[in-house]
């Protein structure tokens, strides 16, 4: 499947075959592609919590307004971010040429230090990009997906033992659909959402 086909065919699917299991190799392939998602300064602040414990899935479903895809999808990813990843980002640059390391690594701390809103914004941007990479990769592998924010963030944080310096961005449910989504409800016209140069 080419990229355009994956984009066109990706939909938020709600109904999954609860008996289907992804293989470990499939999950490895999926996550290996997800971590190729770009992040500012290559800080790689996303963290992917793969929820495989059936009982924990039931508890998460309760915290997600009883949405069936939480338990029925083959894989449930709680997409989180370490908002303090910038503090140790130098380890993400060890394979870059020394001249590049010397130029970029010293820029990281001044950019984020004491800027909590910037740290949070960066985390959410990074997770959004990673979620789309995850969903398009899943589509290429023959799976469907559903990004989700319909849950109690605080309760989910408790259930997954979320560290204090992390935040939750969204769920992404991935699996084999058993029911097609409804037709696309409608897209705004390009001339309304694409702006040339200035508003």
Tokens of 106: 């010293």
What pLDDT does 100 receive? 96
Tell me the pLDDT of the chain averaged across its residues. Answer: 97
pLDDT at site 88:
95
pLDDT of residue 29: 98
pLDDT of residue 123: 95
In angstroms, the CA 47 to CA 40 distance is 15
Task: Tell the residue number behind the tokens 């370490």, with chain if given.
Answer: 82
- Domain ranges in the chain are 3-180
Rounded to an integer, what distance in angstroms lies between the CA atom of residue 176 and that of residue 180? 11
Q: Which residues of the chain fall short of a pLDDT of 50?
A: none
pLDDT of residue 86: 97
- Residue 149, burial from CB neighbour count under 10 angstroms (0-12, 13-18, 19+): exposed
Question: What confidence score (pLDDT) does residue 1 get?
Answer: 83
Predicted confidence (pLDDT) per residue in 85-124, tens digit: 999 999 999 999 999 999 999 999 999 999 999 999 999 9
pLDDT of residue 149: 97
The answer for residues whose C-beta is within 8 angstroms of residue 163's C-beta and 6 or more apart is 82
Pick the CATH number of 3-180 from 3.40.109.10, 3.40.50.10860, 3.40.50.150, 3.40.50.920: 3.40.109.10
Q: 21 near 76, Cβ under 8 Å?
A: no
Asked whether the beta carbons of 123 and 41 are under 8 A apart, the reply is no
Residue 136's CB: how many other CB atoms inside 10 A? 19
CB atoms near residue 134 (< 10 Å):
26
CB atoms within 10 A of CB 92: 18
How far apart are the C-alpha atoms of 20 and 145, rounded to whole Å?
A: 14
Cβ-contact 81, 47 below 8 angstroms: yes
């Amino acid at each position: 499947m080419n990229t355009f086909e994956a984009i066109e065919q990706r939909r938020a699917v709600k109904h999954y075959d609860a008996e289907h299991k992804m293989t470990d190799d499939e999950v490895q392939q999926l996550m290996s592609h997800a971590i190729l998602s770009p992040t500012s300064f290559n800080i790689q602040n996303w963290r992917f919590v793969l929820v495989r414990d059936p009982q924990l899935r039931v508890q998460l479903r309760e915290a997600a307004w009883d949405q069936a895809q939480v338990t029925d999808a083959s894989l449930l990813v709680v997409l989180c971010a370490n908002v303090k990843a910038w503090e140790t980002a130098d380890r993400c640059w060890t394979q870059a040429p020394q001249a590049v390391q010397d130029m970029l690594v010293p820029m990281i701390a001044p950019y984020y230090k004491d800027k909590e809103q910037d740290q949070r914004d960066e985390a959410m941007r990074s997770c959004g990009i990673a979620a789309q990479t995850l969903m398009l990769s899943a589509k290429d592998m023959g799976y469907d997906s559903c990004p989700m924010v319909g849950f109690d963030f605080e309760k989910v944080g408790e259930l997954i033992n979320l560290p204090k310096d992390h935040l939750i961005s969204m769920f992404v449910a991935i699996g084999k659909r058993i029911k097609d989504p409804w037709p696309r409800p409608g897209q705004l016209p390009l001339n309304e959402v694409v702006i040339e140069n200035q508003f």
